[in-house]
Structure formats: structure tokens, C-alpha cells
Amino acid sequence: MSDTDPNSGPGWNDHDTPYGTIHSYNDPGTLGTGGNAGSHTNIGPTTRLSIPSTKTYNGIYMSMCANNLMAHEGFVNAIYADSKGNPTVGIGHLLANIDAALGMRFSKTYHQSLGHGDSTNIEVAATSTDVRNGYNQVLNHPGSRAAVHLSNDDAIQACIADVQETEKGLRGLYANYDHFTDNAKTGLVDMGFNLGIPRLRNEFPKFNAAVNRGDWGTAATESHRTGIGDKRNADTAHNFQQALAGH
């Protein structure tokens, strides 16, 4: 569940969402100048998300999880195929079937001619047929991307929901999960999201035992996964090393 070709372009924005205001912005030192500005094209590889706290989560911690996942999954507003050919959108959000896609608020861009050589792009809600066609296109041609896309807000909201759903499974594996440091939980969310809770439970017994006894040094060593990039493994191990240091 990864795509290393996220959208690019300037991204100073405040997004009002049901979760509160989400601020997405580029690092001022590396502010991009390419790409198209707009609500579905302005988050790039240097973007950092700052998510405010709500009644259900701490914003600093949720921002850590979202930014970590975005660094390794990418941020793609259009439906695309992940490394296994599965239709995916946003920050590695799996669309397991067409109903999952139809349940999201996709849009499409309509190019309107104004005459005299002028034109404009208009965002309109995608129809169910648009979504079906885009989903099937990606399913049958994994190298393509659908013409329908999510807004940045909806893509970020899907990531928040994915983190919260992953945490439900992690609480079933680790009795003291809610008392772990933010770094430890960020690393565990990455493991659970990337592998899936069943694989994490069944294929990483030494890792799970280390986490449950609070042995973060061993957890860092045992967190190594095959089939993913070295950077992701290193970042996850670093999170557990930070937990070992009490952070």
C-alpha cells in the first residue's frame, strides 16, 4: 500500500473539516513551485500536516501518525493501484471493493471553454458511474489513475479514520497500548497499517512479546519487515528507539 509519486505544488491552506481545521503546508525552506494549485493538487513530498486535537484524539500524535504514513504511502488524490494492484486513494487508503469507493465523496474536473481562447476548470461531484468507471479502470490497468479524485480534506479524514481503525486492533494485541509514548504508538500504527493486524499478530511473535513487556530495544530490532523500503524500516525502528529513551 504505497505510492511514491504524490502530488506536488504549493500548499499553504487551512481546511475546515468535520474534524476541525486541518492545516497543510509546505516546509518554508523547500516550498515547491511546480504543479497546479487547488484543493486536490497542493500536497507534495515536503508537506507537513498539522491536525488539531478533538474529543477523540490528540492532534500532535495524530499529526505524527498521518505524516509518517504519508512519507511512506504518498498522497494521491485520484484512485490508483497500490503495489499489489489494489485500488487505493489518498494516504494508502485501500478501496477493498466498489462499494468502498462509492461511499466516498469523489469529484472530477470539468474543462469549460469560455470562448476567445479562454477556459476554466470547474470541480463537480463525480457520479456513481464516474466512480465505477474510475475504479474499474485502475483495477484493469494498474498503471493508470482514475479521472475522479478526493479533496485534500477527505483524503486526510480517511487517513485519520484508518489510524483509529488500526488502533482498535493494536489495543487487542497490547494491553498497555494507550499508555505507550506517542513515538511508540506511531511505530505500531505503521506496523499495523502496513501489515494488517492479522499478519502483525501471527507473523511477529517476538516483536509482540517485546512490546508487551516494554522492551523497546528488542521491538526496534524485531520490527524489520521484508518487502518494504529500508527507509520505512529505519523510521519505524527509530520510533521504538525513541520510546526506549522515554520519548
- For the stretch 42-101, pLDDT in tens is 788 888 999 999 999 999 999 999 999 999 999 999 999 999 999 999 999 999 999 999
Contact 85, 130 (CB under 8 A): no
**Residue 168, number of CB atoms within 10 A of its CB:** 10
pLDDT at 23: 52
DSSP element (H, E) containing 208? helix 205-212
Q: What one-character-per-residue DSSP string does 86-150 give?
A: -EEEETTEE--SHHHHHTS--EEEEEEEEETTEEEEEEEEPPHHHHHHHHHHHHH-TT---SEE-
Cell triple for 199: 499478519
Question: What confidence score (pLDDT) does residue 71 get?
Answer: 95
Spans of the chain below 50 pLDDT: 1-12, 14, 18-21, 25-38
**Residue 46 has what pLDDT?**
85
Tell me the pTM. Answer: 0.83
